[in-house]
Amino acid sequence: MLQDKKELVKNKADLKKNSLTVLQRRYLKKDENGNVIESVEDLLYRVAKNIAQADKIYDKSADIASLTKEFYLAMSSLDFLPNSPTLMNAGRNLQQLSACFVLPIDDSMDSIFETLKNTALIHKSGGGTGFSFSKLRPNKDMVKTTSGVSSGPVSFMQVFNAATEAIKQGGTRRGANMGILRIDHPDILEFIVCKDKNDSLNNFNISVAVTKEFMDALENNEDYNLYNPRNGEITGKLNAKAVFYKIVDQAWKNGEPGIVFIDKINDKNPTPEIGVIESTNPCGEQPLLSYESCNLGSINLGHFAKDGMVNWEKLEKMVKTAVHFLDNVIDMNNYPIKKIGEVTRSNRKIGLGVMGWADLLLYLGVSYGSQESLSLAEKLMGFIQSKSHEASQELAVKRGSFQNFKKSIYANGSPMRNATSTTIAPTGTIGIIASASGGIEPLFALVYKRAQCLDNEEMYEVNQYFEKIAKEKGFYSTELMDKIAKKGSIAEFKEIPDEVRKIFVTSHDITPEDHIKMQAAFQKFTDNAVSKTVNLPNSATKEDVKKVYIISYKTGCKGVTVYRDGSRDVQVLNLANNKEEPAQIKEVKPRARPVKTTGFTFLMHTGCGKMYVTVNEDDRGVFEVFTQRGKSGGCTSSQAEAISRLISLALRSGVNQNVIINQLKGIRCPVPILAEGGVILSCADAVAKALEAYNREKMSPELFRQTAPASSFYETQKHYTSDSSVNLTGACPQCPECGEMLTFAEGCACCRCCGYSRCF
């Protein structure tokens, strides 16, 4: 029997410097002046003792001291760690222990702002939230109560984003959200590009909920239906391939949106009679019903290798300890909203996962992505799932099945304490604490810097096992390590033995297909879902992204996220830069113009008259822009020509056209004009909108025709519009015919030089 705390905490956690930094900054108790007043061992004891107390609910004579010891040793050995809120809050006043929640958003202001209030409470308590915005009526749809029109789901996402920005989670965690929209929502195209700018909706991850109907249409190159959630009526059709390519394009550009296969998720919904799953938690691994929360924890697989094999006996014991721990968390949790507590306890979902998978493969001498690694993944996760179900059944015998058991998929089988028991989470911060590779991800690099962790404080990370092998085999040197730090991968270093390069692979050494195969191998034996990012090199193509999505669907994954290295301004993991050698400004030379280019010419209606904008491309994409102002010369035409020359120079020098569009769009002149398709604010604004029109045309001519208004402010040979327009100000610019200044009289603008006139 445990005598006292002092005896137990002699079992100290073997923590690295980075682990201590994270714990001190985020987890350990502090006084009013911000001074740490708790040791790591105190924290682990606090958590273990608090979670063990739940046993008294079911057995007044339970040996809490022995259970506290069991939980403490599991954590102090770093064999198992629960999710961050449990480590932070168990045994403290807040006592909010869940990491992830899903809240409903129905199509009413009452529901939207009730959910916004609940979101604030959850974020304040340290949790993250997931939402489906799919029930909200589309942009410009009728609002009967006010005779107005709806602003659509994306506008309300911006409201939630702003609220999240204003809330700091208990001084430890910034709020995170998942925003999901069904692929068949009328606003899906707006949603797909809502994070086109890296600084927009920066408190949201976004994912498209892809349906079987859509995937079937994609396979057959057909259109699919859009449904108005207000009444369920079909409002239009889109070409599945065109929409799919738009998702691919955005994901290639900056990693978002991700995809969740919502029908596959609901096929595995353990309580379909209770409700339909519409959303997941912020990282996508935990599908939940509305008002459900989930408690996650991960086993550190790197600690379960013995003599070149998996220590199955030790792993089985740890699985059962972890399931017991996580089930107790449900009872000890102080839920931020009463209904969340009720729904969570009625299903008792837990999510036991793993971290250190890449570490385990290194210790076993197995190359990540090899067939041997895929077979081992299935065997290992199958073992964990089986043993976690056994543990849940054992608890059900002692404590009873979860409340909705008779309405679940388990109703005709053995009693079950938890509706789900396994989840693969990303384990970002607890992975640092345990010095373990994240989740089931491969190593990002063997030497790298971890940025944007802990309020932008950079951390230097080195794979210690690689360093050990390098010294044992005699190829270690400071110079070589510096080179690897800049490169990340050792694949090209011939001075390193082949057998070492074969085993120590990093994420960019692995093909997209092998990334997905690994995710699918774990998903096969995971109750909930698997969080995994398919990390692609910067050179990856859109075709690579397309393959990832298709393979993930066909291999049974419930969702997928891709990230192309360097496609965002900031990323958490970065290959090391040599600060002693300041970066040199590299001269960029615009690529040469080919003899032949292809493109479109758009007729844009501006306040200065008609302007023809030609957008051409070469084999690498958009290449140049020309503008022609009818018969006009003068200052306006020369400025338009200057704009087009500078745009062309930027495009030929590799500047992303969306950056150019964002710079030009919205510039106003004294004579904005209202065409039937929208407002043209200036000639510069017209050029930006011509570029946008070109992008839509290239995305898919069919989709362009379906999404462009019947009348618009531009014309092409394929898309004819009327010439109606209305000047908004009455100010007089230059004559579009000869360039002289116009005069305004009796409702008309007239040119005294050439006789041009226009009445408004």
> Which residues are designated catalytic?
281, 283, 285
For residue 665, give every residue at least 6 positions away whose Cβ sits within 8 Å of its Cβ, in sequence order, or none: 685, 688, 689, 692
CA-closest candidate to residue 559, choices 264, 203, 276, 252: 264
Beta strand 305-306 pairing with 309-310 = antiparallel
DSSP letters, 118-164, are HHHHHHHHT-EEEEE-TTSPPTT-EETTTTEE---HHHHHHHHHHHH
- What's the CA gap between 63 and 120, in Å, rounded? 38
* Residue matched to tokens 């297909």: 513
- What's the CA gap between 738 and 502, in Å, rounded? 71
Is-contact 135 330, C-beta < 8 A?
A: no
- Torsional class of 456: left (φ above 0), alpha (ψ -120 to 50), beta (otherwise): left
On the 0-12 / 13-18 / 19+ scale of CB atoms within 10 A, 265 is buried
Helix residue ranges per DSSP H, 617-700: 634-652, 657-664, 683-699
- What's the CA gap between 146 and 237, in Å, rounded? 28
Q: Between vectors from CA 605 to CA 604 and to CA 610, what angle results, nearest 5°?
A: 85
For residue 498, give every residue at least 6 positions away whose Cβ sits within 8 Å of its Cβ, in sequence order, or none: none
Is-contact 239 702, C-beta < 8 A?
A: yes
Is-contact 624 593, C-beta < 8 A?
A: yes
Whole-number CA gyration radius for the chain: 29
Is-contact 690 714, C-beta < 8 A?
A: yes
DSSP state of 665: T
On the 0-12 / 13-18 / 19+ scale of CB atoms within 10 A, 367 is buried
- What's the CA gap between 153 and 161, in Å, rounded? 12
CA-closest candidate to residue 385, choices 512, 280, 509, 528: 528
- What's the CA gap between 75 and 499, in Å, rounded? 34
Chain-centroid distance of CA 343 in Å reads 26
Is-contact 446 468, C-beta < 8 A?
A: no
For residue 571, give every residue at least 6 positions away whose Cβ sits within 8 Å of its Cβ, in sequence order, or none: 451, 452, 563, 565
Q: And the tokens for 383?
A: 């073992």
- What's the CA gap between 65 and 361, in Å, rounded? 36
Is-contact 614 599, C-beta < 8 A?
A: yes
Cis peptide bond upstream of 336, omega within 30: no
Residue type, 184: D
DSSP letters, 207-233, are EEEE-HHHHHHHHTT-EEEEE-TTT--
- What's the CA gap between 241 and 219, in Å, rounded? 8
Cα separations in angstroms, 286 against 102, 164, 172:
9, 21, 22
- The interaxial angle of helices 40-52 and 312-332, nearest 10 deg, is 70
Chain-centroid distance of CA 344 in Å reads 25
DSSP letters, 548-590, are HHHHHHHTT-SEEEEEETT-SS--SEEE---TTSPPPPPPPPP
